[in-house]
Structure 1
Amino acid sequence: MSVDLAPLYADHLATLQRRTAVALERGGFDSLVVPAGTLHYQVFDDRDYPYAANPQFKAWVPLVRHPGSWLVATPGERPKLVYLQPFDYWHVVPEAPSGLWTEHFDVVVIRTPEEALQHLPRDAARCAILGEPQSALGAFVPNNPQPVLDYLDYHRAYKTAYEIEMMRAATVRGVRAHRAAERAFRAGASEFGIHLAYCQAAGQDSTELPYNNIVALNEHAAVLHYTELDRLPPKPVRSFLIDAGASHAGYACDITRTWASDRDGEFQALIDAVDAVERGLCERFTAGTDYRQLHLDAHLALAGVLRDAGVIRMSAEAALESGVSSKFFPHGLGHGIGLQVHDVAGFAASDAGGTLPKPEGHPYLRLTRTLEPGMVVTNEPGIYFADLLMRELRESAHAGEVDWDRVDALRPYGGIRIEDDLVITAEGAPVNLTREEFARSGAG
């Protein structure tokens, strides 16, 4: 079913304008000025690094390949877009601004970056300028005032209906590409070959994806951010973990799935057990729930899986309290997602600043806020048999609580992670963007 984006975008823009007015008042500024960003060049070379649009810029307009452009928002006035369309015969020049968003802006087209100064506010000192230092232009040097950032970043956790539709569209790409990746895995492709199949199906190259694809066969799946991409497949191929997303209009999806070569083997049974934990946790992503408690409950559930599989002998509660569960599940349960794959303000106590602490002994959790309607967050429990962490556990006082023969048998499979993107609702159960698209497209 198609969605009419025009009213959704108009409401989204109105929300941004309301938030901006409050943020500027708190910071004591008159206008918000946001550069899209600039190209960065490699040292001693004329090659640029892949460009990434300033997320504060692409929150307003769905432009992700327009360095040198600027956004100006002043309360009580129409927002202005200063749009760089350079005179350039070396590269493709951006087309004239078009789309449903353009009617809401005063659009000024410039031919050189320096021309932007003619269209920015007169007094840079009265502006909150959000961006990287390299984006400075004349007196418009990013100052990133903390009161303004605190307010805008905190409220960015609450997605508008327009933003959720953009993330849904990103998920369509991501799920299609995940299905292609599984087919490539089943056909015997290498990590690099699977990555290429993924990009082809997503219709995006590696610089357009929201993060570097994690494509891991066998023991590589125990490396949380494995991005090496071997050119030849291992022999034998035992398992496959892929953590990969896609982008749409500046918004991201983030999906992880794990498969075993032997669909009826013990590692597939372990994958199924982790998948059941993940599904059960998803139902508890409800408004009013402290995300920190979900993280700790995930440890208890995964420790139960390890005990049932004969990997550990201790109770789930003892595994959590002793830190043993963290050797098998060393990362956080998830994070906010939206304009960035790890979205901002995950620890924010309020829109005036402050920090909500992580649970003791869990330093890698990226989200400590209470879930509220409109938030979009990930749920990604996992179990890994990482050499370094297994060595630490073997040398610890709790080594006797582990069946090391079971660990050695599972180590060649690497690890398991299952990840979905969830929209928190006011009614109860969340909207699972990931599972809904897998179901809609006919995949599991």
Structure 2
Amino acid sequence: MNLFAQHYPEHIQTLNQRVAEIVSREGLAGLIIHSGRPQRQFLDDMDYPFKVNPQFKAWLPIIDNPHCWLLVNGTDKPTLLFYRPVDFWHKVADLPDAFWCDHFNIHVLTNADAVRDFLPKDLEAWSYIGEHVEYALEVGLTSFNPSAVLNYLHFHRTIKTDYELECMREANRIAVTGHLAAKNAFYHGACEFDIQQAYLSAVGQTENEMPYGNIIALNENAAILHYTGLARQNPQHRHSFLIDAGAQFHGYASDITRTYSFEKNLFDELVMQMDNSQRAIIDMMAPNVSYVDLHLACHEQIAQLLLDFKLASGDKQGLIEQKITGAFFPHGLGHMLGLQVHDMGGFLSDDIGTHIASPDAHPFLRCTRTLAANQVLTIEPGLYIIDSLLSELKQDKRQSQVNWDAVALLRDFGGIRIEDNIIVHDTHNENMTRDAGLS
């Protein structure tokens, strides 16, 4: 028995316990979870790539089949309505035959509109969980995505089961093969587009199967935080390479970033020091530690880098308070990771939905929670030469603290980001990315 099959019964038991608790609390008979429907492209006869409802794939690894439904109440064996039409235009899904099947009562749905024949009679006592409320109305449902239910599910899904952790380890192992292939392609002169193709070939997944759009950035493009241009032509001079790319396994995501210098130079030294800073932040992670405090500690690390590499002058606290570090490191330290790349629940202090706001000085944080065992988060400090942000420093007295000549030397390199995927345990942290072989 593989590890996924071994851990899956406990995973289903945990999900059932969560559902039993929230439906009892809210006076519901159960939840009807929709995998989703295809969405037609505007003025076309083709659909956009299908993306499954994350609350659906939490239960089972069906990630590419629309029109499926789950009926769960936490007590009875869950029911799966599996969509398998008669269709000679497209390949239909194979009948389920996997390690998870015995945990569901499975009914084959050959007509998407026939779903109402399989739904409970007392539909007013059930809540629909999904995107297509208008369709849920058509089949007779009257309760849709109750905030109390979603808050509860979001909060608790940040604590991963052993099955989920094993899926995420595998997602990291897959992504690392792609990162190594991309690194090799960069040093052998490939353009951004060809590096992307090398990555996809190595991980064995299509672009639509990626958990997010890969960032493959050469030179100054690395300063664009969500760059997805994929230039077909090589730059005249090759300075640097930033890759932010993941993979998925059974619907769970990995999210990994590395930065490389083409030559041994000052930028390469800065990359190595950023790597050391990132590891230092990871070492601070533990249950009961605030993620906000980790983010603030990261700004101290960035301030020290600015001083060590003579990009700025002054003292660390002053650089932070004057938002000079923020101009070089404008995003948050990282985020929750799991069924989604930016997984839900990062701002919740409890399962009734109490929100923990980001500090006013750090509005782009994606997580403000206190860490707990079996949570999975990214740690991704960065340092970038972003002219639109640095120009603001030139407008006031802060300009005297920035070494503009040193900034100019780094502009062609764009920026640096180092990102690993970390499991918080009671006694230690598990770096899935480095354990999978990416230094």
Q: Following the alignment from structure 2 to structure 1, what is the Cα–Cα distance between the partners of residues 367 and 240?
A: 29
1:143-197 residue CA offsets vs partner (Å, 9 max, x unmatched): 1001111111100000000000000111111000000000110111111110111
1:26-62 residue CA offsets vs partner (Å, 9 max, x unmatched): 2221111000000001111111111101000000010
Residues 423 and 432 in structure 1, CA contact (< 8 A), matched pair in contact too: yes
Name 2:336's counterpart in structure 1. Answer: 336
CA RMSD of aligned residues (A): 1.2
Name 1:358's counterpart in structure 2. Answer: 358
Moved over 4 A (4+): none
Name 1:376's counterpart in structure 2. Answer: 376
Q: Following the alignment from structure 1 to structure 2, what is the Cα–Cα distance between the partners of residues 185 and 383?
A: 21
Residues 127 and 141 in structure 2, CA contact (< 8 A), matched pair in contact too: no
Q: 68-77 vs 116-125, which deviates more? A: 116-125
Q: Following the alignment from structure 2 to structure 1, what is the Cα–Cα distance between the partners of residues 426 and 197?
A: 40
Residues 29 and 126 in structure 2, CA contact (< 8 A), matched pair in contact too: yes
Name 1:36's counterpart in structure 2. Answer: 35
Name 1:192's counterpart in structure 2. Answer: 193
Residues 328 and 384 in structure 2, CA contact (< 8 A), matched pair in contact too: yes
User: Is 1:143 the counterpart of 2:147 in the alignment?
Assistant: no
Q: Following the alignment from structure 1 to structure 2, what is the Cα–Cα distance between the partners of residues 396 and 205?
A: 48
TM alignment of 1:255-294, pairs within 5 A: 255-262=256-263, 264-294=264-294
Name 2:8's counterpart in structure 1. Answer: 9
Question: Aligned-pair distance for 1:141?
Answer: 6.1
TM-score scaled by structure 1?
A: 0.97
User: Is 1:247 the counterpart of 2:248 in the alignment?
Assistant: yes
Residues 135 and 142 in structure 1, CA contact (< 8 A), matched pair in contact too: no
User: Is 1:71 the counterpart of 2:88 in the alignment?
Assistant: no
SS at match of 1:227: coil
Name 2:325's counterpart in structure 1. Answer: 325
- The residue identity in structure 2 corresponding to 1:229 is L
Question: Aligned-pair distance for 1:135?
Answer: 5.0
Q: Following the alignment from structure 1 to structure 2, what is the Cα–Cα distance between the partners of residues 75 and 366?
A: 31
TM-score scaled by structure 2?
A: 0.98
Residues 35 and 135 in structure 1, CA contact (< 8 A), matched pair in contact too: no
Residues 159 and 375 in structure 2, CA contact (< 8 A), matched pair in contact too: yes
Aligned residues: 437
Q: 1:420 to 1:413 in 2, by over 3 A?
A: same
Question: Aligned-pair distance for 1:76?
Answer: 2.1
- The residue identity in structure 2 corresponding to 1:10 is P
Q: Following the alignment from structure 1 to structure 2, what is the Cα–Cα distance between the partners of residues 100 and 3?
A: 9
Q: Provide structure 1 residue ranges, at least 5 long, that are not aligned to the other structure.
A: none
Residues 3 and 163 in structure 2, CA contact (< 8 A), matched pair in contact too: no
Question: Aligned-pair distance for 1:142?
Answer: 6.5
TM alignment of 1:23-172, pairs within 5 A: 23-133=22-132, 135-136=135-136, 137-140=138-141, 143-172=144-173
Name 2:221's counterpart in structure 1. Answer: 220
- The residue identity in structure 2 corresponding to 1:196 is Q
Q: Following the alignment from structure 2 to structure 1, what is the Cα–Cα distance between the partners of residues 320 and 227?
A: 26
Q: Following the alignment from structure 1 to structure 2, what is the Cα–Cα distance between the partners of residues 182 and 354?
A: 43
Q: Provide structure 2 residue ranges, at least 5 long, that are not aligned to the other structure.
A: none
SS at match of 1:354: coil
SS at match of 2:247: strand
- The residue identity in structure 2 corresponding to 1:45 is D
